[in-house]
Structure 1
Amino acid sequence: MTAFQEPAYSTVVRSPLNASTLWVVLGLFAVFGAVPAVADDYWLSSIIIPTIVMGLAGIGLNLLQGYTGLVSLGSAAFMSIGAFTTYNLLLRLPFLPLPVVLVVAGLVAAAAGVVFGLPSLRIKGFYLGASTLGAQFFFEWLFTNFGWFSNDSQSLTISAPRLDVFGLDLQSAVGRYYLVAATTVILIALAFAVVKSRVGREFMAIRDMDTAASVIGIRVSQRKLLSFAISSFFLGITGALWAFAYLGTSDAHAFNLDKSFQVLFIVLIGGVATIFGNFLGAAFIILMPILLDRLSLVVDLSLLADQGALANLQRIIFGVIIILLLIKEPDGLSSLARKAIGRLRPSGEKAAG
């Protein structure tokens, strides 16, 4: 009897593992092999890199808002901390390797996240979101008014230092793409590790009902601050990548309130409490304005209005599309993607699932 049971056990357990491993291998091949081989410098520098980086920023906010239920409107502030910390570390401590600098920048942003996450111990919802605006305005003011952070630059801008990892030059579009892709893969693995761990389950318990979570023994205050720290850690590294792997030159105003709302929209459009949905939301945010711009050129609306009015019209259309999308599918693009995949699966596989 045991001899017949053992093969059945191995089939049930190992098959999903092999399938998951296969998808991971295919994904890594696409990211590190197919994309840089097919895409040219324009696509890498102007579309793919910003989409990946903003998707990573969405993960950072989603860990806080989607999984823990804490609202934040200051995501760009922690991105700016990561950017300016990375700049100063590479400038003043040039012997530090870039991966170490990125980790330290994330940790500095995490410390700031804990400080500005303290109001979450007393307030929640809209009031917490309003309080996080303090971080947004404070750090934008700090980096604008104190020249030391920008090495006393007259324009208060920071320029990307030479990007290399252990002697490997990353200045080219492909090199910057590999830097962004490798960092993103590592942070996605970390995000899944957090979500699947006991800490992640406690985050979700706090999101669903923090009073009940406290009753069953979860240290709600500590977990809220930890969520702010992890979220800010992700955002800090994202800010460094945005400033140096994408923009090349930036200042504090590159991380203004508009950027925080952009990250928030990525989470809402991609789907709350999801990891890969953030990249769908980022692709929507990055690609939709480009598509609308191309359509306006094809239709040639210049006879109806000047360029300023056309730009405002594009923003209006973009906003209407977002509203219609959220009305049609409140769970975001990740839910639409799951439904589409479900329709494509064979009926027998659906029944088995």
Structure 2
Amino acid sequence: MSAITTKRPSPLPPLRHVATVVVLAVAYLLVPFLGTSYLFEAILLPFLALSLAGVGLNLLTGYAGQVSLGSAAFMAVGAFAAYNFNLRIDGLALIVSTVLAGLSAAVIGVVFGLPSLRLRGFYLAVSTLAAQFFVQWALTKFSWFSNNSASGVIDAPPLSLAGIAFVGPVGRYLFALTVVAVITFLAYRLVSSQTGRNFIAVRDNETAARIIGVPVLKTKLLAFAISSFIIGVAGVLWAFAYLRTVEPAGFNLDRSFQILFIIIIGGLASIRGAFFGAALIVIFPLVLSRLGAFLLGDLFDSGVLDMTQRIVIGAFIILFLILEPDGLVSLWDRLRLHVQSAVRQP
């Protein structure tokens, strides 16, 4: 039991509070005026959506210890649910349709989380993978979800919140930033509460958690529900703010693995880790693409360059996990402590 109690989330130190406020101030006050259209469209918008999805999956996998490979399916449920709520209920506010979309994803998450009551580890991962194939099949098979569109690709509705329209790359960025900031704060409060401690207890030792009175079955399903809710909202951001279209192809199996890599690279059981991992996953391919086009653009076509980029990213992920298994957040903390100790020395 001592192993359970020693891993409770500790309150943020005041310095980290200040750093969070500074980051938000820069994101709200400087980036909208200094950022270019490319920065918003290619980097910041996918970064925000994937970071939120990483936060949701980290609650389930990092904190509660339940493996899931169906994250993109829950993103798809959120995106298509928000679209249909907005389309079929006149006058429904976007924020309401977004919350309803998250609740729809939570319901689907609980359904596919039921095997966690009996399965663990690899077997649970395979069962959650079924959600990926089932959701994509359903969205493709039944054209009602895409308003009977012949192509299955539909335009996302305009973004507005409390009568304020968020147009253009800057407006969509501010909308996504606000949603991510609010949900991330709530997620941090959750992992600092008794519910978060229950998640960690179930992750560390289910038998010990049950002995000390933690409702294991309820805790697992609650983890799936909350995680799927957040990932569903991330799907709304991915479709409405980033892609500007709602289509099943935007939520394929590669997206599920991408979100899984985000939390592994960033650091499990860390809210910050989702943002570190998403930053690397979004920026690193762009750097490789630019570098490959500069060095090898005249030798190979785009297909070979894309495959080379995938190989390099995969090799980098493997190498990184070997050298730093605790993720970028652990590397950042060690670097920060090293700098602080160097500053304090006379």
Length-normalised TM-score, structure 2: 0.93
Number of equivalenced pairs: 334
Matches within 5 A, 1:1-353: 17=14, 19=15, 21-300=17-296, 302-303=298-299, 305-347=300-342
In structure 2, the residue matched to 1:7 is: none
Q: 1:329 and 1:131, CA in 2 relative to 1: closer, same or farther beyond 3 A?
A: same
Query: Which position in structure 2 is the counterpart of 1:6?
Result: none
Cα distance in 2 for residues equivalent to 1:49 and 1:94: 28
TM-aligned CA distance change 1:16 to 1:246, over 3 Å: closer
Shift of 1:20: 5.1
Q: Which amino acid aligns with 2:320?
A: L
Deviation at 1:312, TM superposition (A): 1.4
Cα distance in 2, alignment partners of residues 294 and 252 from structure 1: 28
Q: Aligned pair in 2 of structure 1 residues 122, 349: CA closer, same or farther (>3 Å)? A: farther
Deviation digits for residues 283-318 of structure 1 (CA, Å, limit 9, x no counterpart): 111111111111112223533x44322321221111
Separation in 2, partners of 1:16, 1:283: 24
Identify if the C-alpha distance between structure 1 residues 232 and 208 changes in structure 2 by more than 3 Å, giving closer, same or farther: same
Deviations 1:250-297 (A, max 9, x none): 311211111101100101111111111111111111111111111112
Structure 1 residues 268, 20: CA separation in 2 closer, same or farther (over 3 Å shift)? closer
Amino acid at match of 1:271: G
Q: Deviations over 1:310-341 (max 9, x none)?
A: 32122111111111111110011111111111
Q: Distance in 2 between matches of 1:118 and 1:299?
A: 50
Separation (CA, whole Å) in 1 of partners of 2:335 and 2:293 = 31
Counterparts of 2:151 and 2:86 in 1: how far apart (Å)? 20
Deviation at 1:157, TM superposition (A): 1.5
The alpha carbon displacement at 1:21 in A equals: 4.6
Report SS of the residue matched to 2:65.
coil
Residues 228-267 of structure 1 show CA distances to partners (whole Å, capped at 9, x for unaligned) of 0000000000001000100011311211111101100101
| CA apart distance, 1:27 | 2.5
CA distance in 1, matches of 2:46, 2:132: 21
In the alignment, the residues of structure 2 paired with residue 166 and residue 184 of structure 1 have an alpha-carbon distance, to the nearest angstrom, of 17
- Give the TM-score, by structure 1 length: 0.91
Structure 1 equivalent of residue 4 of structure 2: none
Equivalents in 1 of 2:206, 2:344: separation in Å? 38
CA distance in 1, matches of 2:13, 2:219: 32
**Retained in 2: the 8 A contact 1:150–1:157?**
yes
Partner AA of 2:116 in structure 1: S
8 Å contact 2:73–2:131 — kept in the other structure?
A: yes
Whole-angstrom distance in 2 between the partners of 1:94 and 1:158: 18
- After superposition, the Cα gap between the structure-2 partners of 1:287 and 1:16, relative to the gap in structure 1 and judged at 3 Å, is closer
Measured in 1, the distance between the counterparts of 2:17 and 2:247 equals: 41
Q: Percent identity?
A: 49
Deviations 1:31-90 (A, max 9, x none): 211221221121011111101110110111000000000000000111001000110111
| Deviant stretches of 4+, over 4 Å | 347-350
Listed as ranges, the gaps of 5+ residues in structure 2 are 1-11
Q: What amino acid does structure 2 have at the position aligned with 1:293?
A: S
Asked if the contact 1:87–1:158 (Cα under 8 Å) also holds between the matched residues in 2, the reply is no
* Paired residues of 2:80 and 2:246 also in contact (CA < 8 A): no
Task: Give the AA of the match of 1:29.
Answer: A
Aligned-pair RMSD on alpha carbons?
Answer: 1.6
Render the CA deviation track for 1:107-139: whole Å, top value 9, x for unaligned: 111111111110000010000000001111111
Aligned residue type for 2:322: I
CA distance in 1, matches of 2:146, 2:270: 36
**How far apart, in 1, do the equivalents of 2:27 and 2:326 lie?**
26
Distance 1:136 1:264 in 2: 14
